[in-house]
Amino acid sequence: MTYKVTTVRLPEETIESLDELTDKLEKDRSEVMREAIKIGIDEMKLRLTLELYKEGKVSFGRMSELTSLNQRELHTILKQRGITYRYGEIRLSEETENLVE
């Protein structure tokens, strides 16, 4: 993996929390920062995608693609965050027909 250097200004409290976490995890500060940023980016992508899903702008399947989470994980997240699963009309019709047959 190729790394690029960037500079970020952080509040003292954030640096103190980072140092505490670094000590507890017994990891290098840069490694902890990279992991924290990755977790933060993943969470932000998830929040954005969930908003798009709630607004009906993306399907459940597309949400899975955008977040790189499987459907079981997404069902759990929807439940945890109190978001209603939207069952598409076409899929409902198809499954209802299969039940009748």
Q: 26 in a domain, yes or no?
A: yes
Q: 2 in a domain, yes or no?
A: no
Tell me the two tokens of residue 30: 């840069």
Mean pLDDT over 13-26 rounds to 96
Q: 7 in a domain, yes or no?
A: no
Tell me how long the chain is: 101
Q: Which residues of 24-39 are buried (b: 16+ CB within 10 A; e: fewer)?
A: eeeeeeeebbeeeeee
Tell me how many domains the chain contains.
1
For residues 1 and 30, the model is more confident at 30
Domain with 17 in it: 12-100
Among candidates 31, 78, 92, which has minimal Cα distance to 69? 78
Does pLDDT of 97 surpass 70?
Answer: no
Q: Which H or E element spans position 56? A: none
Provide the pLDDT for residue 86.
81
Does pLDDT of 93 surpass 80?
Answer: no
Q: What is the pLDDT of residues 22-66, one digit of tens each?
A: 999 999 999 999 999 999 999 999 999 999 999 989 988 899 999
Q: 49 in a domain, yes or no?
A: yes
Q: 5 in a domain, yes or no?
A: no
Q: Which of 1-5, 16-20, 57-61 tops mean pLDDT?
A: 16-20
Mean residue pLDDT across the chain: 89
Q: 4 in a domain, yes or no?
A: no
Q: 54 in a domain, yes or no?
A: yes
Q: 73 in a domain, yes or no?
A: yes
